[in-house]
Amino acid sequence: MYAGEGEFHMTDGERAALEILTELEEGASAPNYLSISFGVHLLGTTLGGRHVSAAFAFPRSYPEQEAVRVSVECGGLISKQQHERISLGAQQAANELVGDEAVLQVLQTLQELAWELEESTDSASDRLILDGNCKDADDSPLVLERKVIWFHHIKSTQKRKDILEWGAELKLGGFCKPGFPGVLIFEGESENVAEYVKRIQRLRWQALQVRGQEAEELSRGQDLDSFRRQEISGAKRKEKISGIKNDAKIPSSQTCDMVQGPKRAVLFSAVK
């Protein structure tokens, strides 16, 4: 039994509800209807300083006929090209796995891509820094600096060991007089001298004071060792080996050669 014309009546609200139900039914039967979706945050995988996330959307025919859809998200400082590369790489991995469960393998591929991009970014940054440092080094003059430091005393064997080892590491030449008072006289490239003083000041001392210093600017390409006034300890001068010599008493003739001019009087007062 069917209703005749004009016998079946629907209000506007009922008609709208029917249209919604019809759309839902048609959508549910469509092969591309996305029935399940979720996201994964790879907290241990970073790119541009932030962790990488992946959103997965599964068609009804997954995994037999269609690949999972992958959307990669990263809030880090990365370029558009980097984001496209990692997104396309993850989706390509998913497309190659039609017929198999793909999520874990896609996540593994995503991690590997992120690590590769992060490593290449770090390497590029390191090259820029290195190139900049090399350029600065080539442009800046070479400075040979000499310093005299007075201490209330130098008794600690560990401090004396640090003084000698740091001097060798930083290619400095000079003398260390332990006891009361303690005196340290050294020379070398200005940057190394500054680092040496910084390390020494970080140690605990009863009293410490820079009693004398001078600097000599050299041209790039000149041999710094040939301008040293201090006899290199433990080696012939030809060998160009630097180091701090540990002497209980510093000969006046050697200290005079290292610091000249008005600072000679300051030097003598420091070694008394």
pLDDT tens digits for 190-216?
888 989 988 888 888 888 888 888 887
Give the type of residue at 248. A
Q: Where are the beta strands (DSSP E) in the chain?
A: 34-47, 50-59, 69-74, 142-151, 173-177, 182-189, 208-218, 243-246
The b/e string for 138-152 (b: 16+ C-beta within 10 A; e otherwise) is: eeeebebbbbbbbbe
Domain 32-139 in this protein, CATH class: alpha beta
Residues 85-132 have pLDDT tens digits of 999 999 999 999 999 989 999 999 998 888 888 777 655 445 544 555
pLDDT at position 266: 45
d(CA 202, CA 153): 16
CB atoms within 10 A of CB 228: 21
Phi and psi at 203, nearest 5°, equal -75, 160
pLDDT digits (tens, 9 = 90+) for 232-268: 343 333 333 345 666 555 444 444 444 444 444 444 5
Question: What tokens appear for 272 in the block?
Answer: 């008394």
pLDDT at position 264, please? 47
Which distant-in-sequence residues (6+ apart) come within 8 Å of 80 by Cβ?
Answer: none
Give 117's Cβ-side CA count (13 Å radius): 26
| Residue-range domain boundaries for the chain | 32-139, 142-271
pTM score > 0.85 for this model?
A: no
**Mean pLDDT, residues 28-48:** 72
The architecture CATH gives domain 142-271: 2-Layer Sandwich (3.30)
Give pLDDT, residue 265. Answer: 47
